[in-house]
């Protein structure tokens, strides 16, 4: 899932400073699960914002809404009537949702209410960790299901490097060495010899190498387009 964190309140208050009426728009997807921008966070943030502005004697009217997902255009259709009446939208979706929102409402100011952090996993209540960098050509089959791109601080493919100590990465004692994890897991599975295989260098052309990526699946396309 995409992990995000709400922006500091002063920053959001700054973004909204010139508005009198805004829509605080939550997303029912990833940001609901990571407690950054779902219905409840929309409620709490809206309370904080209205109180802060009331204290400054510059009231802010807030409309609250959370849609199914902000990364799909169709879910914005049902809120057009709300958007029409507000000065701006504060989107609590991830960076993808915020941009889709802005694209859906080209004449409306859309502000980001969260910082999108990474693609990750929920380890514990209030604790998340990065797991994938969407490199475009997954190598998990070669690495015991542990990603060297996202979880090795140097994204190397021939680790561990000299900085690996007692299973930890030299970057921080809190960070597991991905290559120690890979080695341990493959040992456990009786597959450690597979690491002896000499692999060709990773083809980064599937990653950011060619600029923004796009995926088109002709088998799924309909004549009407989006």
Instruction: Mark the segment that binds other proteins (CB under 8 A) among 54-62, 84-92, 113-121, 200-208.
Output: 54-62
Which one among 9, 139, 156, 189 touches other proteins, defined by CB under 8 A?
A: 9
Mapped onto helix, strand or coil, the DSSP state of residue 45 is: helix
Retrieve residue 59's tokens.
């009231």
x/- map, 162-201, ligand SF4, by CB under 6 A = ----------------------------------------
Q: Does 21 bind other proteins (CB under 8 A)?
A: no
Contact segment (CB under 8 A) with other proteins among 45-53, 92-100, 115-123, 131-139 equals 45-53
171 binds, among ligand SF4, other proteins, none (CB under 5 to 8 A by kind): none
CB 182 within 8 A of CB 146: yes
What residues contact 116, with CB distance under 8 A and at least 6 apart?
Answer: 2, 3, 4, 94, 95, 96
Measured CA to CA, the distance from residue 131 to residue 55 in angstroms comes to 42
The closest of 81, 72, 79 to 42, measured between CA atoms, is 79
State which H helix or E strand residue 9 sits in.
helix 9-15
Q: Which of 17, 21, 40, 156 binds other proteins (CB under 8 A)?
A: 40
Kindly state the DSSP code that residue 165 receives in the 8-state scheme: B
147 binds ligand SF4 (CB under 6 A): yes
Please state, in angstroms and rounded to a whole number, the distance separating the CA atoms of residues 218 and 197.
Answer: 36
Cβ atoms of 100 and 122 closer than 8 Å: no
Residues that bind other proteins (CB under 8 A): 8-10, 40, 43-44, 47-48, 50-52, 54-55, 59
Residues at the interface with ligand SF4 (CB under 6 A): 2, 27, 29-31, 69-71, 93-94, 96-97, 132-135, 138-140, 147, 149-150
């Amino acid at each position: 899932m995409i992990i995000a964190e709400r922006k500091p309140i002063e920053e959001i208050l700054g973004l909204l400073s010139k508005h009198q009426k805004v829509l605080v728009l939550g997303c029912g997807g990833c940001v609901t699960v990571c407690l950054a921008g779902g219905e409840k966070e929309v409620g709490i943030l809206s309370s904080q914002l209205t109180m802060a502005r009331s204290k400054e004697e510059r009231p802010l009217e807030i409309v609250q809404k959370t849609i199914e997902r902000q990364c799909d255009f169709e879910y914005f259709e049902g809120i057009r009537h709300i958007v029409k009446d507000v000065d701006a939208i504060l989107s609590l979706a991830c960076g993808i949702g915020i941009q889709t929102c802005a694209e859906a409402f080209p004449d409306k100011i859309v502000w980001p209410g969260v910082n999108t952090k990474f693609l990750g996993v929920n380890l514990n209540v209030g604790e998340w960790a990065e797991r994938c960098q969407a490199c475009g050509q997954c190598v998990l089959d070669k690495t015991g299901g542990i990603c060297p791109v996202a979880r090795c601080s140097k994204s190397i493919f021939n680790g561990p490097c000299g900085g690996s100590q007692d299973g930890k990465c030299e970057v921080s004692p809190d960070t597991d060495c991905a290559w120690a994890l890979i080695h341990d897991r493959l040992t456990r599975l009786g597959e450690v010899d597979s690491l002896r295989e000499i692999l060709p260098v990773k083809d980064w052309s599937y990653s950011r190498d060619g600029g923004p990526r796009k995926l088109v699946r002709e088998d799924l396309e309909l004549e009407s387009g989006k």
